[in-house]
């Protein structure tokens, strides 16, 4: 028997974060339609998270077609949804304990691509219990996706969730791997199959609107100094968006901080042009006899 106390405060806060996320995600899904604004959607989601007692664990990601991760609107972004594959990836923090979930909405007639990621996630979650190897989870994800005639994105993985840490070990692969980790009761992980009709390997694009703190430091520039104060006080080690900074020239301030290796950016990750990517993600707590999905709507 496990000696993990699943009633402990950390698990209750993971659950609270997951409950907020599930509610906001399902409401947000209904707001994704042709002509709707990217910026208005993410601001609505982030405001709803705060109203319900949480904080965004990272900027809401809005990935379109070949984009897979790290895309979020700029301050003055005028983009609207078209006939596209749209993925919304949301994170919620309650006192630093996290939930992470994503859903793909098909506006482009790619329903099988979306179904493949949903079915791969369901198949993965059915396997989860103490003692399961992460490579075995990856094998089932890959086999499910292959059954639809698509490819998993092999250089993106699921991950553990720590206190104010969005990505910790273990990694949860989206394909069979030889070297893997054994899950244990009490682990909190995000499982997130990525499916594509492309080659299955994303690359970094040139756009960069999400950043995170690497280290504290001193800077001479006043705007950069003010930005750093806000980052260390409000966001700590969690990712943040350029549009969240309360300074006059946030992009310039961030470039100064980046030049001094105080922050780093997250370039948008993309498959090849003309392809599509779908993603479905839940956060789970590994229990003594399976798993508890914290981000599934009650």
Q: Which residues are catalytic?
A: 89, 100, 159, 167, 192, 281
Q: Establish whether 89 is an annotated binding residue.
A: yes
Cα separation of 86 and 279, whole Å? 9
Q: Which helix (H) or strand (E) holds 47?
A: helix 38-51
Q: Establish whether 100 is an annotated binding residue.
A: yes
Q: Establish whether 163 is an annotated binding residue.
A: no
Q: Phi, psi at residue 264, to the nearest 5°?
A: -130, 155
Q: Establish whether 214 is an annotated binding residue.
A: no
Q: Phi, psi at residue 26, to the nearest 5°?
A: -70, -35
Q: Establish whether 264 is an annotated binding residue.
A: no
Packing angle of the helix pair 9-29, 38-51 (nearest 10 deg): 150
- Chain mean position to CA 298: 21
- Please provide the size of the chain in residues: 298
Q: Phi, psi at residue 161, to the nearest 5°?
A: -125, 125
Packing angle of the helix pair 111-127, 134-147 (nearest 10 deg): 150
CA distances from 152 to 89, 138, 187 (A): 18, 10, 24
Q: Establish whether 70 is an annotated binding residue.
A: yes
Q: Are 209 and 227 in contact (CB under 8 A)?
A: no
Tokens of 183: 């899950």
Tokens of 128: 């989860």
Q: Phi, psi at residue 97, to the nearest 5°?
A: -95, 135
Q: Establish whether 106 is an annotated binding residue.
A: no
Sheet architecture: strand order including 269-270: 67-69, 269-270, 203-204
Q: Residue 197's closest CA among 87, 61, 66, 62?
A: 66
Pick out the residues of the known binding site for substrate: 70, 167
Show binding-site residues.
70, 89, 100, 159, 167, 192, 281
Q: Residues at the annotated binding site for a divalent metal cation? A: 89, 100, 159, 192, 281
């Amino acid at each position: 028997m496990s000696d993990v106390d699943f009633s402990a405060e950390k698990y209750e806060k993971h659950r609270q974060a997951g409950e907020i996320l599930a509610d906001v995600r399902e409401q947000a899904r209904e707001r994704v339609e042709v002509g709707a604004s990217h910026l208005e959607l993410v601001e609505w989601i982030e405001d709803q998270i705060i109203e319900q007692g949480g904080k965004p664990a990272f900027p809401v990601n809005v990935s379109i077609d070949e984009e897979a991760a790290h895309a979020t609107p700029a301050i003055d972004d005028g983009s609207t949804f078209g006939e596209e594959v749209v993925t919304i990836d949301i994170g919620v923090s309650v006192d630093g304990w996290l939930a992470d979930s994503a859903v793909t909405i098909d506006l482009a007639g790619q329903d099988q691509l979306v179904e493949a990621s949903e079915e791969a996630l369901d198949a993965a979650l059915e396997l989860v219990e103490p003692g399961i190897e992460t490579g075995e989870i990856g094998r089932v994800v890959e086999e499910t996706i292959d059954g639809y005639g698509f490819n998993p994105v092999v250089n993106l993985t699921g991950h553990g969730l720590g206190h104010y840490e969005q990505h910790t070990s273990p990694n949860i692969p989206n394909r069979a791997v030889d070297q893997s980790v054994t899950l244990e009761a009490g682990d909190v992980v995000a499982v997130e199959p990525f499916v594509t009709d492309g080659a299955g390997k994303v690359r970094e694009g040139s756009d960069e609107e999400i950043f995170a703190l690497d280290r504290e430091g001193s800077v001479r520039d006043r705007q950069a100094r003010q930005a750093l104060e806000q980052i260390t006080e409000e966001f700590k080690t969690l990712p943040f968006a350029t549009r969240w900074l309360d300074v006059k020239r946030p992009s310039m301030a961030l470039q100064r901080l980046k030049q001094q290796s105080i922050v780093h950016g997250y370039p948008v990750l993309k498959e090849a042009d003309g392809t599509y990517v779908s993603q479905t993600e839940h956060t789970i707590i590994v229990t003594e006899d399976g798993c508890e999905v914290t981000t599934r709507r009650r």
